[in-house]
Amino acid sequence: MEEGSLTGLGLEFSKRRGEAIRLELRRVLTARRTPYQQLEIVEALSCGRALFLDGKIQSAEEDEFIYHEALVQPAMVLHPRPEAVLVIGGGEGATLREALRHRTVKRAVMVDIDAEAVAACREHLAAWHQGAFADPRVQLLHRDARGYLEESAERYDVIVVDVTDPLAGGPAYRLFTQEFYHIVLAHLNEAGVLAVQAESADLGVLEPHLAVARTIGSVFPHAAAYNVHVPSFGESWGFVVAPRERHPLDLTAEEVDRVLAERGVSGLRFYDGESHRRLFLLPKYLRQLLAGGAPVITDAEPVFVA
Amino acid sequence: MEEGSLTGLGLEFSKRRGEAIRLELRRVLTARRTPYQQLEIVEALSCGRALFLDGKIQSAEEDEFIYHEALVQPAMVLHPRPEAVLVIGGGEGATLREALRHRTVKRAVMVDIDAEAVAACREHLAAWHQGAFADPRVQLLHRDARGYLEESAERYDVIVVDVTDPLAGGPAYRLFTQEFYHIVLAHLNEAGVLAVQAESADLGVLEPHLAVARTIGSVFPHAAAYNVHVPSFGESWGFVVAPRERHPLDLTAEEVDRVLAERGVSGLRFYDGESHRRLFLLPKYLRQLLAGGAPVITDAEPVFVA
Amino acid sequence: MEEGSLTGLGLEFSKRRGEAIRLELRRVLTARRTPYQQLEIVEALSCGRALFLDGKIQSAEEDEFIYHEALVQPAMVLHPRPEAVLVIGGGEGATLREALRHRTVKRAVMVDIDAEAVAACREHLAAWHQGAFADPRVQLLHRDARGYLEESAERYDVIVVDVTDPLAGGPAYRLFTQEFYHIVLAHLNEAGVLAVQAESADLGVLEPHLAVARTIGSVFPHAAAYNVHVPSFGESWGFVVAPRERHPLDLTAEEVDRVLAERGVSGLRFYDGESHRRLFLLPKYLRQLLAGGAPVITDAEPVFVA
Amino acid sequence: MEEGSLTGLGLEFSKRRGEAIRLELRRVLTARRTPYQQLEIVEALSCGRALFLDGKIQSAEEDEFIYHEALVQPAMVLHPRPEAVLVIGGGEGATLREALRHRTVKRAVMVDIDAEAVAACREHLAAWHQGAFADPRVQLLHRDARGYLEESAERYDVIVVDVTDPLAGGPAYRLFTQEFYHIVLAHLNEAGVLAVQAESADLGVLEPHLAVARTIGSVFPHAAAYNVHVPSFGESWGFVVAPRERHPLDLTAEEVDRVLAERGVSGLRFYDGESHRRLFLLPKYLRQLLAGGAPVITDAEPVFVA
């Protein structure tokens, strides 16, 4: 082989059955097994540092802003005055960072089961958390989020569920069921909003996304599925936002921009009024599939990602 | 390695520097060098049949509808009554297919330099062209499109440029310059619309897309860059539409749907009014980059894709 | 990625657990499922045409002479006057070719279960068989070799077993057991010699090789394991020769060369007297392992290769 | 993709043009650029820890004993009483280790230009050096070996050249030329022996091996090329030993074993009398190529490995 070929250190991850992405690496910052999952933090030539959990890309330096703004900002903007925020998962700290941009926020609780993974992110992914873990409004807990909610009476304005894929045998699948969303609903204030990372929205691997959207829609009145292309994933990633009061498309671009300005939100690179509209306008085939009959996920009949 | 690993026949293609996608193949339908380029038509486990030219994916069975509808339909809808259409490139025949959906079309000329590639597509990619080459409205020419335009006095309502990337040493780079777009403009009728495949719109490899948008914008008054995630590319693919009369965002979703209905357009899976709006609303960072100072591409200073 | 990288059509095959070889391909001559196995014949940049069965490399144009001469020639030379030869497997026809070089041979029977695979080799691998299938001394049968032997009373001077790896679920595993070797022994003439392809002789994957050697050694008095590096395999490939009368190291280099000359054997590129000596002198660690206690393979307790 | 595929951290290295080996990694112990070369020390699933310099595998935990014993032991045994040994290169410390096994050795000088690489090996590859660097007979120098020899009047009984491939632009190519071997000859005692790692002996990439053998043969009277299959390389690796007094095949297996016993050499796993004979008996095609007209490498006309 010639100079410049994709040799040397690499990381290959599955995109879907029969399809994989190979990244050329500059460095491996850490590769280890935590009590909960296999973790790698690497530095790739193409997309900078990147976090992998159980062989799946979580976010990359280059474009984590797209993923995290898309996950968090619509929910924050849809709430009239978010003061108490709960982040479930979100080990990199960037989900927290996005919530803290809104100066209305007085308290942000983050519950991530894997203390070792969070510590590795704090050490190696400073560009993600940007000090969010040290914000005085933040409380960080390492425990099972479902157990935490079941024992707690606290209510929140916005709850963001940013957990890993529901892998068979993994810990996350119980955070994608109808029973869990009922628990979440019971911990939201009146105008509360739920936002959920909801698996790939790509053709051919849509089933989990459709099922999560359908399941949340069976519990919340205004659940809206949306997605955004994340270059380092090579996929259009899906989310669901579920406001208790109004649908995301009820907001004009101008309203979104006004809310962001009123709350002193700065530093956004992906999200604003126009991006908000783009996010919630969906391609024809996807609207049709979302209107179709995906199954509701339950504790008894969970959905797993391969 | 275990059962089920990504072994066996494969095709690996570069996504960007330091990043590649590997496809597991079921079959290789043809792999050959035409007089103009290296061509492979394969059948992949993940995305069905797919066409590669000079090692770059052109379209795949699973999602070519997204690419081709996004390329062609906005331009067709933006013209008040498209009767004469010129397709430059578009060897698979699907670009032609999309134009022919509009019953206003009386004549469609397709100019693709590579007769051997077009013949291979006709043979192996019937799901793409769906008989478009045999439509009596179609005239198919195998010659250099720029030379063809320079010698012809014919004018068109819609011109679609669907050519391969401007590779150094390849034939396509002279179809991406300001001089070429001036030639195109001179062959458009009053309300004419140009649509161009305009390279990846992904972070990190945006320069060609920005330059094409800027160059077309230096010639056409209402040039609009847009993009859509194509799963088999693993990228969000960019286009530019340049209507002589009005901006794409001047059309409401309802107007788009009405035009499609009036012209008897059926069979669309990706495009409709809502998708039209989504296409032309762009993320914040991309709007900022498009507003910045990308270079104008000229015959003397062309842009090449690696 | 740059020019010259290992992109494009490829074939990746497992070398051992956690290790794979990727070949850049020029062409895929055929890829299909026969009634018995998955078959690919490709043309690789590095080693020319190559045959793969069930994802495992069988032989490559560049170095099949090493494999086939090493498999066949020692057995032929060890027999005082080989007239009747039986080849089991050996679909490429090169095993047959090697036996036919000895002008003492009057009759050569080849029994390969997979008629479709043999036909594909005849069509695409002419450099292997070099017309051997058309030799008037040859009889070609497509049936299970063990069944053939059980029903036949014919005896042979040399029997060469050149079958695919004993994969779980595959047809070949019953041709690697003690019971089978007893059947073979009963079909050998007094000075008869058995030669067997006997799996990789590489560290870390030696178990099947050791077990085959041990099993043949439990049936034949002078079984000798040997191996040779085959570049396209990236491995040192193992064989066992089992002469009924004398050990391979009883032959001097001069004796080997004299036998070859007497029988008019020409065209050998790998094998001669010096190579014969090299083949049967083994590294210290391998001699120690071969002397150790590998299990005997039986119909009841077969050995499978992953 | 399924469970168990070759995903995750990997290292891919070129075997030859159009052919690469991919290793699944457990860990990356270090990956860095020293002042002289790119260095990686990894732990692979298949072959344990392994050292890569400039993208080329140097040795692996599983089978470094084959490489290092084959490189060093024939030269040591061929000298009647080796007391002073010079190792050039050999950063892992295993070349030194092999020389120190002979209790005749009173002084061993190791000259390796890359102090940082040697330090990394000392830290991570203890199974290689096994404390050799701390042996009181050892002197370790970090400088250019050719310059060292040119300035020194010291003479040695055995000189082992274990340097990286002669890459264009790399530092090693001046240690493969006729001029260099004349310098070496001048620093050998009367019965002195030179041993050299001499590139792959695989078909298709033999040219450097043949040229090194020819070049040493133009300076030393009894130069003998030999090679051994190293599983982790996927190649048969070539060496040249050049005794001033007698040819390696003049030694019987019994003589080799007696010398090893007399010098109290223990712990060898690959090398002994029988392995010695195997090493120096070559396949027919390789003997023919070695007898053919390979070029002599000179400072003015060096040979580079791709």
Give the per-residue pLDDT at A6. 57
Residues A79 and C38: their CA atoms lie apart, in Å, by 58
Task: Show the CA angle centred on residue A174, arms to residues A168 and A177, nearest 5°.
Answer: 110
Please state the rounded mean pLDDT for residues D292-305.
Answer: 90
Cα gap C32→C15, rounded to integer Å = 22
Q: Which of A47, A236, A269 sits opposite B285 (nearest CB)?
A: A269
d(CA A156, CA B131): 58
Across D68-85, average pLDDT: 98
Question: Which tokens sit at C271?
Answer: 């094998």
Residue C48 carries which side chain, given as an amino acid letter? G
The whole-number pLDDT of residue C298 equals 95
User: What average pLDDT does this structure show over B91-110?
Assistant: 98
Of D237 and C2, which is predicted with more confidence? D237
* D171 has pLDDT over 80: no
Interface test with D, best of C42, C278, C280, C290 (most D CBs within 10 A): C278
Kindly state the helix (H) or strand (E) to which residue A278 belongs, with its residue range: helix A273-280
Question: Residue D293: its pLDDT value, please?
Answer: 83
Q: What is the CA radius of gyration of chain B?
A: 18
High-pLDDT (> 90) share of chain D, % = 91
Considering only CB atoms, which chain A residues are within 8 Å of D31?
9, 25-28
Task: Name which of B2, B3, B5 to mutate to probe chain D: the one with the most chain D Cβ atoms within 10 A of its Cβ.
Answer: B5
8 Å CB contact of D284 and C270: yes
The whole-number average pLDDT for the span C122-133 is: 97
Residues A40, D8: C-beta atoms closer than 8 Å: yes
Closest residue in chain A to residue D6, using alpha carbons only: A12
- Residue of D63, D112, D114, D162 marked active site: D162
Chain C residue whose CA is closest to A2:
C4
The token pair that represents A54 in the structure block: 């159980």
Q: Strand pairing partners for A225?
A: A240
CB contact under 8 A, C55 and B7: yes
CATH number for the domain formed by residue range(s) C10-58: 2.30.140.10
User: pLDDT for D250-281, tens place per residue?
Assistant: 999 999 999 999 999 999 999 999 999 999 99
User: What is the 3-class SS of D197-265, one letter each residue?
Assistant: EEEECCCCCCHHHHHHHHHHHCCCCCCEEEEEEEHHHCEEEEEEEEECCCCHHHCCHHHHHHHHHHCCC
CATH of A10-59, one of 2.30.140.10, 3.40.640.10, 3.40.47.10, 2.60.120.580: 2.30.140.10
Helices (H), B42-111: 64-78, 94-100
Name the residue type at position A169.
G
Q: Nearest CA of chain D to the CA of B167: how many Å? A: 23
Q: Strands A19-33, A8-16: parallel, antiparallel or unpaired by DSSP? A: antiparallel
Q: How is chain B split into domains, by residue range?
A: 10-60, 64-291
- CATH architecture classification, B64-291: 3-Layer(aba) Sandwich (3.40)
Enumerate neighbours of D (3 or more CB pairs within 8 A).
A, B, C
For helices C64-78 and C273-280, what crossing angle results, to 10°? 90
In one-letter notation, the amino acid at residue C77 is V
- pLDDT band with cut points at 50, 70 and 90 for residue B303: confident
Q: Give the CATH number of domain D10-60.
A: 2.30.140.10
Residue D174: phi, psi to the nearest 5? -75, 0
Mean pLDDT of all residues in A277-291: 98
Question: Left (φ > 0), alpha (ψ -120 to 50) or beta: where does A256 sit?
Answer: alpha
Q: Which pLDDT score is estimated for B6? A: 57
Which residues lie closer than 8 Å to C212 by C-beta, 6 or more apart?
A: C176, C196, C198, C199, C238, C240, C297, C303
Q: How far is CA A62 from CA A42, A47, A266, D193, in A?
A: 13, 5, 19, 56
Q: Name all chains with 3 or more CB-CB pairs below 8 Å to chain B.
A: A, C, D
* Choice among A176-180, B59-63, C169-173, C224-228 with the minimum mean pLDDT: C169-173
Q: What is the DSSP string of D7-48?
A: -EEEEEEEEETTEEEEEEEEEEEEEEE-SS-EEEEEEETTTE
- Partner-chain contact D7 A40, CB within 8 Å: no
- Nearest-angstrom CA–CA distance, C212 and D232: 23
C279: left (phi over 0), alpha (psi -120 to 50) or beta: alpha
Max alpha carbon distance in chain D (Å)?
A: 63
Residue A140 reports pLDDT greater than 60? yes
The residue ranges of DSSP E strands in chain C, in sequence order, are 8-16, 19-33, 38-44, 48-53, 56-60, 84-89, 107-111, 138-141, 156-162, 188-200, 224-230, 235-243
Look at C231 and D166; give whichever has higher pLDDT: C231
Predicted confidence at residue C6, as pLDDT, reads 57
Q: How far apart are CA C201 and CA A274, in angstroms?
A: 64
> Which ranges of chain B would DSSP assign to H, the alpha helix?
64-78, 94-100, 115-124, 126-129, 145-151, 178-186, 207-217, 253-262, 273-280, 284-291
The one catalytic residue among B162, B165, B202, B257: B162
CB contact under 8 A, B12 and C13: no
> Which pLDDT belongs to residue A4?
36
Mean pLDDT of D292-302: 92
Chain D residues close to C19, C-beta within 8 Å:
21-24, 44-47
> Which H, E and C letters describe C164-182, residue by residue?
CCCECCCCHHHHCCHHHHH
Residue B1 to residue D2, Cβ atoms within 8 A:
no
Distance from CA of C135 to the nearest CA of B (A): 34
Active site residue C162: yes
Q: How many CB pairs under 8 A join A and C?
A: 24
Residue C306 has pLDDT above 90, yes or no: no
| Distance between C205 CA and the closest CA of chain D, angstroms | 10
Q: Which amino acid is at A5?
A: S
Q: Which of C9, C17, C19, C278 to mutate to test the interface with D (most CBs of D within 10 A)?
A: C19
Q: State whether D306 and A2 contact (CB < 8 Å).
A: yes
Q: What is the mean pLDDT of residues D269-298?
A: 96
For residues D200-233, b (16+ Cβ closer than 10 Å) or e, as one string? bbbbbbbebbbbbbbbbbebbebbbbbbbbbbbb
pLDDT at B107 over 90: yes
HSE (CB half, 13 Å, CA atoms) of D206? 20
pLDDT digits (tens, 9 = 90+) for C152-179: 999 999 999 999 988 777 778 899 999 9
Determine the distance in angstroms separating the CA of A168 from the nearest CA of chain D, rounded to an integer: 11
pLDDT bin (cut points 50, 70, 90) of residue B4 is: very low
Residues sharing a CB contact under 8 Å with residue A267, sequence separation 6 or more, in sequence order: A101
Q: Which of B181, B233, B239, B180 is nearest to B209 (CA)?
A: B239
**Cα–Cα distance between C278 and C228 in angstroms, integer?**
9
B130: left (phi over 0), alpha (psi -120 to 50) or beta: left
Tell me the nearest-neighbour CA distance from C279 into chain D, angstroms. Answer: 8
CB-nearest partner of C278 from D15, D282, D285: D282
Of B9, B12, B13, the CB nearest to C28: B9
Mean pLDDT of A37-48: 96
Contact C1 A5 (CB under 8 A): yes
Q: Long-range contacts made by residues B204-208, C-beta under 8 angstroms, separation at least 24?
A: B204/A46, B204/A47, B204/A62, B204/A231, B204/B16, B205/B16, B206/B286, B206/B289, B207/B294, B207/B303, B208/B165, B208/B166, B208/B303, B208/B305
Q: In what order do the strands lie in the sheet with A235-243?
A: A138-141, A107-111, A84-89, A156-162, A188-200, A235-243, A224-230
Q: Which of A256, A284, A287 to mutate to test the interface with B (most CBs of B within 10 A)?
A: A284
pLDDT, tens digit, 9 for 90 and up, residues B240-271? 999 988 899 999 999 999 999 999 999 999 99
pLDDT of A3 higher than 70 = no
Q: Count interface pairs A-B at CB distance under 8 A.
A: 132
Q: What is the residue-wise DSSP string for B89-104?
A: E-TTSHHHHHHHTSTT
Query: Least CA distance to B56: which residue of chain C?
Result: C8
Across the interface, of B16, B45, B231, the residue whose CB is closest to A18 is B45
Do residues D236 and D227 lie in contact, with contact meaning Cβ atoms separated by under 8 Å? yes
Q: What are phi and psi of C183, to 5 degrees?
A: -60, -45
Residues of A with a Cβ under 8 Å from any C Cβ are 1-7
Query: How far is the C-alpha of D13 from the C-alpha of D32, rounded, in Å?
Result: 16
d(CA C204, CA D234): 13
Write out pLDDT tens, residues B140-191: 999 999 999 999 999 999 999 999 988 777 778 899 999 999 999 999 999 9
* Residue B78 tokens, joined: 């933006």
Question: Cβ of A282 and B278 within 8 Å?
Answer: yes
Residue scoring higher pLDDT (C244 or B128): B128
Q: Which residues contact C289 (CB under 8 A, 6 or more apart)?
A: C206, C210
Residues of A in contact with C3 (CB under 8 A): 2, 4
Catalytic residue among C63, C162, C165, C202: C162
CB contact under 8 A, C204 and D12: no
**Residue A168 pLDDT > 80, yes or no?**
no
Confidence of residue D6 (pLDDT cuts 50, 70, 90): low
Q: Which two tokens stand for residue C265?
A: 């054997």
Q: Which of A18, A203, A270 sits opposite B44 (nearest CB)?
A: A18
Structure tokens at A81: 């005055």
From chain B, pick out residues whose CB is under 8 angstroms from the CB of D4: 1-5
Residues of D in contact with A31 (CB under 8 A): 9, 25-28
Task: Report residue C297: phi and psi, to 5°.
Answer: -85, 130
Predicted confidence at residue B37, as pLDDT, reads 93
Confidence bin at A242 (pLDDT 50/70/90): very high
pLDDT, tens digit, 9 for 90 and up, residues D195-224:
999 999 999 999 999 999 999 999 998 999
Per-residue pLDDT for A249 more than 90? yes
Q: Is the pLDDT of residue B1 over 90?
A: no
| ipTM above 0.85 for this complex | yes
Give me B58's structure tokens.
């052109």
